[in-house]
Amino acid sequence: MKILSKQNAIVIGAGIVGLATARALAIRGYTVTVFERNERAVGASIRNFGMVWPIGQPTGDLYERALLSRSIWKEICTEAKIWHDEVGSLHLAYHDDELQAITEYVEANRQYRDCSVLDPKQTLQKSPAVNSSGLRGALWSADEMILESRVAIGQVALYLSEKYDVTFYWNTAISRIEHPMVMSGNTSWQADEIFVCSGADFETLYPELFLQSEITKCKLQMMRLVAQPDDWRIGPALCGGLSMIHYPGFQSAKSLPALRKRYQSEYGDHLEWGIHVMVSQNGAGELTIGDSHEYGLVHDPFDKEFINNLITGYLHTFAKFKDWKLAQSWHGIYSKMTNGQTELVMDAANGVTIINGLGGNGMTLSFGLCEQLIDAR
């Protein structure tokens, strides 16, 4: 048995939730050890837009948590020299009802957020990638930040290792937990507190708890377009109107139900497959586009071409790029609560805490959530 030092914690999973938990513990003086079953994080934490997305959260506690996450991301990225781009976002309006919803949103939130309604000219000044044909205006939000998640997650792990002496065991699947011990095969480690931050490990280590929880899995399809020529930048992350009925942050717009009704008539296939369309740009100039949402405990491992076609077809209605060549396509799977909760935090046993079920908000909320959770302990 390997016994760790006094006031120590074990974190299982080196995705964004595990890293956020490790950081919150380490800055409070814990000796932290992280176990990851793969040689690096390869799950939902790297298969996303790289968006830190406060605008998707409703005003109040969740928005404040998103801002806290953003501030932690900013601190880490600055110290560790991790690429990030504080570009903000544009939600584009091409119909009167979309512009109305945007206007209502700004009226309800301008005292709490840095947001405004832009006219077409102002919108095009923000981004050369906006389709000007039929443009009525846009919602501008300054809060959003872009990272290259497939690189940043590994860089955060290195940062925690170097600054806080967090120890990482890669390619080490934890097969059993009996507090205060965790076991991988015949090797065991001991710690005062244990945190299970990986959905896969939650499911395998505590299968009965997993099945009893009001939790499901979401599969999303995404794509990446090639780097745009001549260092051409799109500026803010861009979103179509469908994103407004996807994110709970827009529920303050009173006309949203009427907008949803129109979308159900005109974009029934998109809504059936949970499609809303966004685009972000990484430091290399590549464009990440998506996405869709399919729910269930088991998913088809094969992607559906028609879903990608629906995504790109809708994207053409509000964006124009220099080069639309497809570089990659993939899917990610994350856990999501079915009871309306924004996360699952439970004591699996004395000294063992499960943190899971953040849905598609891991990049946006994990640092803030785990900071609040550990601080409250």
Instruction: Return the pLDDT at 6.
Output: 61
**Integer Cα distance of 28 and 325 in angstroms:** 47
Domain shared by 157 and 121, yes or no? no
Query: The domain spanning residue 250 has which CATH number?
Result: 3.30.9.10
Q: Is residue 77 part of a domain?
A: no
Q: Is the per-residue pLDDT at 30 higher than 70?
A: yes
Asked if 358 and 372 sit in the same domain, the reply is yes
Q: Residue 4's pLDDT is what?
A: 47
Claim to verify: residue 240 and residue 128 sit in the same structural domain: yes
- Per the structure, the count of domains in the chain is 2
What residues contact residue 272 under an 8 Å CB cut-off, 6+ apart? Answer: none
Q: Are residues 167 and 313 in the same domain?
A: no
In a domain, 75, yes or no: no
145 alpha-carbon distance from chain centroid? 12
How far apart CA 376 and CA 371 sit, in angstroms, is 9
Residues 219, 287, single domain; the answer is yes
Question: What are the tens digits of pLDDT across the range 169-187?
Answer: 999 999 999 999 999 999 9
Of 314, 361, 331, nearest in space to 42 by CA: 331
pLDDT tens-digit readout, 215-240:
999 999 999 999 999 999 999 999 99
Decide if 273 is inside a domain.
yes
Say if 60 falls within a structural domain: no
202: nearest Cα among 92, 358, 363: 358
Residues 165 and 38 in one domain: yes
CA distances from 350 to 121, 133, 337, 370 (A): 59, 60, 23, 19
Could you tell me the pLDDT band of residue 377, with boundaries at 50, 70 and 90?
confident
Mean pLDDT over each residue of the chain, to the nearest integer: 96
Quick: pLDDT tens for 266-288. 999 999 999 999 999 999 999 99
Cis peptide before 300 (omega within 30 of 0): no
- Looking at the structure, tell me whether residues 132 and 222 fall in a common domain: yes
Residue ranges making up the domain that contains 156: 2-45+150-213+344-376
The CATH number of residue 41's host domain is 3.50.50.60
Residues 250, 107 within the same domain? yes
Residue 248 inside a domain? The answer is yes
Same-domain pairing of 240 and 131: yes
**Is the pLDDT confidence value at 143 over 70?**
yes
Residue 344 has pLDDT above 70, yes or no: yes
What is the distance between the alpha carbons of residues 159 and 98, in angstroms, rounded to a whole number? 42
Calculate mean pLDDT across residues 118-142: 98
Residues 20, 367 contacting (CB under 8 angstroms) = yes
Hey, which residues does 195 pair with through a beta bridge? Answer: 11, 353
167 shares its domain with 219: no
Asked whether residue 206 falls in the same domain as residue 219, the answer is no
Domain check: are 170 and 257 in the same one?
Answer: no
pLDDT for 5 equals 45
